[in-house]
Amino acid sequence: MALFPDSTTMKFSTAVCITAVFSAVISAGIAERTADAQDSSAPRSLIIESGESNALERLAKWLRDPESKGVLSVGHGTGPLDAAPVLVLLTNDDRLSGASVSLKDDRIAISREADDAAPIRVDVENVRGIVIGETLSADERALLLRRLESHRFEDDVLLLEGRDRLIGEIQKITDGQVELKAAGGTVEVALSRVRGIAFSRDLWSVPKTDLDRALVVSNDGSILSGKSVSVKEHDLTIEWVAGSPVPFPFPAVRWLTILGADVVPLSAEPEAVDYQPFLPGSLDGEADLNQTTVRINRSIRGGLLTLNRRIFPRGLGVTSGTSLSYSIPENMARFVATVGIDDEAGTDGSAVFRILVDGEERWSSGLLAGESPAKRADVDIREGKRLTLAVDYGPDGDVRDVADWCEPVFLKSSILSSRDVGP
């Protein structure tokens, strides 16, 4: 008999944008916890380790219960994600790994490693680029990823081996070939020569994310956001915003996070940004290197937000000297986030993270340096109107101050008065 003979699904109707939330949110400060494992009701918030023998059963129980309005976090493991032969980069910062890719009639099909897995299809307008090839070194792959995620090409571009490139309009990808309509006519290029494909920025369309409440990070490098998650037997399926539902074997899931109705993500775009350079009169350090003072869902250097080898798909990357301001939504009680110097800084970097409410400091991280343990911010914001996230310079100025605000969310008062059941 199957563990779960019927599919168990929970869908959310609250209209907010997608972001995940770190598991430490649940471990303190949200609600009273209890060790009573016999409690028959599902908790509003819950942490599950993937290796637990009853992990799927506990996940399904949480999904079934209509009172599960807090945060569900399921996960294990740290460190880099696997490098698949193909990595498709979506315009909403999602990523989808596969064994091969094809393009026909403005639809991209990604074939996955499993022989019996149906290809996943997505409109080309939702794709910003594709990384191709297992022969790239880790540094080459990281550089190509950043180039594709930040490109501003007005035309489609094939990035070839040896730093060559071809510019035009991609017609199709099939049978190991890329067909490109260039100024001098149509050319065919062997896919084995292609390292990356950048699609015209003018044609990008970001998938609607007003109902996204779930986020899956898979060991194969996929990062997908969606409206709901379902469990059937030993598979977890996310209703992906950019295409058809995507199944994952449960052991392949690095992290799963679901936000209940009482959790509100921080808006990705701050209402105000203030940058005070270390040397007055110019951009400095990381800000000068990247010509920007804040990145959405990436570190200031363009990589995935990573603290102590843990990858955070959602959050904000800044450098020291930067303050971000937001209006506090109504009926919010607390603001939480994980902060630290990104792993990209190595042992370098030093900064102080501060949270202000209506101009009054409510929390400070103290001095954090490269490889310092990440810290959890948990701030009372009741009756507050304006939230400010500030990063101040450390004793070394702005050298490699790759500062991350990871998965920041607001918590409604209703969570504080509910009871959590511990793992």
Query: Looking at residue 96, which CATH number applies to its domain?
Result: 2.30.30
Residues 96 and 199 placed together within one structural domain of the fold: yes
Taking the C-alpha atoms of residue 372 and residue 349, their distance in angstroms, rounded to an integer, is: 10
Alpha-carbon distance 230 to 232, whole Å?
A: 7
Yes or no: say if 257 and 215 are a contact pair by the CB < 8 Å rule. Answer: yes
Q: Which of 203, 220, 250 is the last residue of a domain?
A: 203
Is 421 a member of any domain?
no
On whether residue 423 sits in a domain, the answer given is no
Considering the domain architecture, whether residues 212 and 199 belong to the same structural domain is answered as no
- Claim to verify: residue 62 and residue 156 sit in the same structural domain: no
* 65 and 213 assigned to the same domain: yes
**Could you tell me if residue 365 is inside a domain?**
yes
Q: What is the pLDDT along the chain (423 residues), one digit of tens a residue?
A: 222 223 333 333 222 222 333 333 333 222 322 223 233 333 456 677 666 778 888 888 888 877 677 777 777 667 788 888 999 999 988 999 999 999 999 999 999 876 567 889 999 999 999 999 777 888 888 889 888 988 888 999 999 988 899 999 999 999 789 999 998 899 999 999 999 999 999 999 987 665 568 889 999 899 999 888 888 878 889 988 887 888 888 888 888 888 887 888 898 789 999 998 887 654 445 544 445 789 999 999 888 999 998 889 899 999 999 999 999 999 899 999 999 999 999 999 999 999 999 999 999 999 999 989 999 999 999 999 999 999 999 988 878 899 999 989 999 876 653 333 222
Q: 270-282, pLDDT tens digit by residue?
A: 999 999 888 765 4
Exposed (0-12), middle (13-18) or buried (19+): which is 35, by Cβ within 10 Å?
Answer: exposed
Is position 422 within any domain?
no
Q: Which of 335, 340, 344, 328 is nearest to 384 (CA)?
A: 328
Instruction: Identify whether residues 96 and 70 lie together within a single domain.
Output: no
| Full domain range(s) for residue 299 | 266-415
Q: How many domains does the chain have?
A: 3
